[in-house]
Structures are given as structure tokens and as C-alpha cells.
Structure 1
Amino acid sequence: MELNMELNQLFKIQEIIESNIKNSTNIPEDLLGEENIFDLKFLALQVKLGQLANTTKCYKYHKNNSYRIPKEKLVLRYIDVMKFLLSIGNEHNFNIINKEVIDSVEQPEGVIKAFSQIFSDIIRLKSEILAGTYINSLNIYIELFAKYISLGNNLGLTFEEVYDYYLKYHSC
């Protein structure tokens, strides 16, 4: 399957998952407040990204590269972050990205730089969305998503593996 079709499918599946969650929780979003939900998604994205970084132990300079993480654990942590990226993309109509724009983004070298840049991009994205600048927000989202895909590659995960695991654990 082509990456563009896979991306479209991931966005759609995430939308269905969230719709099911909303229907099963019986908590009206109005009660939580739109602003709180916005902050909640960005905070969750940062927390999940931090958990992924913690899983890799890449920030511990005294660890060597021989630290082995079970592949399934790594993929599941990676997908946890991706869910919030997809959710934010759906929420703000950024779900129009494709392989060509992802491939056009300059990628950070190495896992540590990737994590660092992704954290920065999350903050930039939130700020631009709050400012109401759709084009700037979309461009930052594209960069963020592309860097996240690159991070997966640097962690030894192919997009196909991630896609297959996502479908396996989140098929509707």
C-alpha cells in the first residue's frame, strides 16, 4: 500500500476511535471546555513523547547504544504518540498531508536531535494554532509529522511496521 493511502487511513481510523471514545464516555465536551480539550491534547502529546524518550534512554549519555528495547514495546510507545499527532491533525484539518510534503522536510540527524526538535515543534504548533494562522500551523504540523516519521526510522521502525501495528491494535 502507498504511504499516502496509509496516512489517510490512519487519520480516518483515529477519527473513528475518538468518536467511539466520546460516545462511550458520556462526558459532553462542552462540560470540559474546548480550551481544556485543546490543552489536554497537547499535554498528552508531550507526555507520550517524553515516555517514548524515556523508553529509549537516549538522553542518558552514559548509556551506550547497546540498550535493547523489545520491538513491540517500542512500537506501542511510538504509536501512543502518533495517536495524538493524528488527533491534532484531524481536529485542525491538517489531515491533508502526503508523502511528497513529508519527504520535503529536512530531517534531524540522530534520535536526540529529533526528540528535541519535535518537542520544540509541538510548542510552536500550539502557539500558531492559538494565533489562528492556519498556513503557518499546517507547515509546522508537516514538519512535526515528518520529523516524527524520521524519529521512527532512527529508532529502527519502518512506517510499514508502525502502520501494521496500528491496524492490529486499533482496527475498528
Structure 2
Amino acid sequence: MDLQHLFKIQSIIENSIMQISDIKEDALGKENVFDLRFLALQIKTGEIANLTKCYKYSKEQESIPKDKLFVRYLDAMKFLLSIGNVHEFNIIDKYAIEALEREENIIKLFSSIYDGISNLKEEILQNNYIGALSIYTKLFAKYVNLGEVLGLSFDEVYAYYTKNYMAS
């Protein structure tokens, strides 16, 4: 599993979208594009939480089709990779991700991911690259952890991403 390969795929996807749509990021404004990526990551993360219904007290966990999970999970992953590319966090590797502690409680995991997104945005706005890189690495590890808790191994996610998005 080569994380740099995922970052490259995401870069290719974004460049293709920009060419097809003929929309220039400069026309949207740098601040808007910055906020857009973080908002999209939060929304896509929320869609995963909504799919699991883990936030509902009285709701029993229903079985979620794996292909549906992949789609939602990869939608969020694309924005996480995009942020990594734009802010040059695409230097992380699987060893840094694997070294971080895992969480089994999905509610705590989602909460921690939301906190991580906010903290990452703040560190970037403060131009603290080292702090932001550290937070990004932890956030990426939490997304890997989230996939595992949802029954998606990162090897499966990697294979799915490379197979389905490189073909596009």
C-alpha cells in the first residue's frame, strides 16, 4: 500500500475535473476554496455517520451494504487526500498511520474526526505547518480506523480506490 499513489490519483482526478468544468479556483477565491474543502470533508464525514445511524439512541445498528459504505467512505477520503495535496501533507506514509492508537467506539471516533478537522483548519490558518502535519497524520489515521470499525480494511479501500478511480 503506497499512500503517495492515492495522493497522485486524487491529484489526477482533480485536474481532470478542473479541465472538464473549466472552473478556475482563482475565480472562486482562495479563502472560499480553502473553506469549501474543509466543509466538504465535514459533510462527507457526516454522511458516513448518517449512514451508520450511530448517533441515534433508540436505533439498532442495521447492516449497511458494503458497496454503499465504500462510496460514502471514499467520498470523504477524496477530500482528505485533496487537503493533503494542497497543503503538502502528502508526505505521510503507512508507518506513521499504523503507529497511532486505534479507537473502537464509533461515536468517539466520529467526534474525534470532527475535532481533528477543526484543529487542522486552525493550524493551517496559523501557518503552523509542523502542527498541521501532525494533526493531518492523526486525522488520516482516524479515517483509516473509521474504515476498519465499519468493516473496511485499508487494503480493500486502497484496492477499490485505485481500481475504480484510475479507470475514470
Choose from 127, 130, 133 the match for 1:135. Answer: 130
Considering only aligned residues, what root-mean-square deviation do their CA atoms show, in Å? Answer: 1.0
Superposed, which structure 2 residues align to 1:37-48 within 5 Å? 37-48=33-44
Offset at residue 103 of structure 1 (A): 1.8
Paired position in structure 2 for 1:93: 88
Match of 1:84, SS?
A: helix
2:103 paired residue number: 108
- In 1, the alpha carbon distance for the partners of 2:45 and 2:154 equals 17
Distance 2:147 2:23 in 1: 34
Other-structure match for 1:26: 22
Return 5+ residue gaps in structure 1 as ranges: none
Q: How far apart in 1 are the matches of 2:160 and 2:105? A: 24
| Aligned match of 1:126 | 121
* TM-score, scaled relative to structure 1: 0.93
Q: Give the superposition deviation at 1:152.
A: 0.5
How far the C-alpha of 1:108 sits from its partner, in A, is: 2.3
How far 1:107 sits from its partner (Å)?
2.2
TM-score, normalised relative to structure 2: 0.96
Q: CA deviation at 1:157?
A: 0.5
Q: Which amino acid aligns with 1:55?
A: L
How far does residue 58 in structure 1 lie from its aligned partner after superposition?
1.0
Q: What is the match of residue 162 of structure 1?
A: 157
- Residues 112-170 of structure 1: per-residue CA shift (max 9 Å, x gap): 11111000000000000000000000000000000110010011101111112212321
